[in-house]
Amino acid sequence: MENCEQFIRGHLLPHFGAMPIAAITATEIEDFIERKRAPGGSTRFKGKGLADISIRSGLLVLPGNPMDAVEWRSAQRVENVDPFTVAELARILAVPAVDGDLATLLELWARTGLRAGEVMGVQPQDVDLEAGTVLVRRTWTRQRLGPTKTGHARRVSFGHPIVEDTLEWRPRADVIDTMITRIRRLKRTPLDPTGFLFTQPDGRPWSSSSMNSAWRRVLAKAVVRYRPAEQLRHTVASTLLSRGAPLLYVQAVGGWRSAGVLLKVYARWMDTGLGIPGQPAATQAQPPRIEGRLTR
């Protein structure tokens, strides 16, 4: 409902608002689509156009008959996968004078590949310090809690050696021990187990805008080329695959609906990636059990 209202107020009314319903023809709609695809079509991002998926969803609130005659062909979807290198991650996580709790959040994100809303929605009750895992079962978006994108919960190890210059992909006990120490040293921890594990310095939950601002400051101090923080998720997937992790294991870690999505988006990292030579996934052993504590 919020998406529909925003689209109506920001796009449909300025374009069609003064027109009678009968005047909204297929030609008018096609003209609207081209305007919104062009630079400046977005109201949120200056100089950008709207994505086809946003236009298609928004147009559903228009009368149905004119849309039946519209010649619609969606633009090919291109995943903007631009992962960080090990050296870049090391600089990001070593930025001086950065709030310690934020640094821990970023490292957990970098080792688990959670979605943005998932990592901001983690609660103390979700973290198993004995097993070295986090239970992903909710997302924090638009100042409210909701289910994960797929509607399913998953348990992910925070022991993946993503930040280390190695060819290993399996969760490591030394990494888990380091992360446990960092989590236990969080300055802002809620007394309520259903509170947020990570909060802003003023105690408020992280939002998309506040996280983006903090993330930009971190990258600037680390002297790392800007990419959205969501690239941490792509970094985990591409790194694990390049090091020979089984496809189904990576799918389970990231919570993708199917392995086909991974093959389509990350196929070029199946043999090599991030400048580190990997091995074909078929030569690797089965994924480790991550529900129990790893032994050294």
Residue 222 has pLDDT above 70, yes or no: yes
Query: Which tens digits make up the pLDDT trace of 69-103?
Result: 566 666 666 668 999 999 999 999 999 878 999 99
Q: How high is the pLDDT of residue 72? A: 62
Instruction: Identify the residue with better confidence: 67 or 47.
Output: 47
Mean pLDDT across 114-119? 96
Considering just the CA atoms, what is the radius of gyration of the chain in Å?
22
- HEC assignment per residue over 116-130: HHHHHCCCHHHEECC
CB 225 within 8 A of CB 151: no
Residue 56 has pLDDT above 90, yes or no: no
List CB contacts of 31: < 8 A, sequence separation 6 or more: none
Give the percent of the chain with pLDDT over 90. 57
Burial class (CB in 10 A: 0-12, 13-18, 19+), 150: exposed
Mean pLDDT across 195-211? 94
**CA–CA distance, 206 with 216 (Å, rounded to integer):** 15
Instruction: Identify the residue with better confidence: 133 or 75.
Output: 133
Query: Which tens digits make up the pLDDT trace of 168-201?
Result: 999 999 999 999 999 999 999 888 888 999 999 9
Mean pLDDT across 53-68? 74
CATH topology of domain 86-283: hpI Integrase; Chain A (1.10.443)
Mean pLDDT across 99-112? 96
21-30, 205-214, 260-269: least confidently modelled range: 21-30
Domain boundaries along the sequence of the chain: 2-68, 86-283
Q: How high is the pLDDT of residue 273? A: 40
Instruction: Identify the residue with better confidence: 264 or 178.
Output: 178
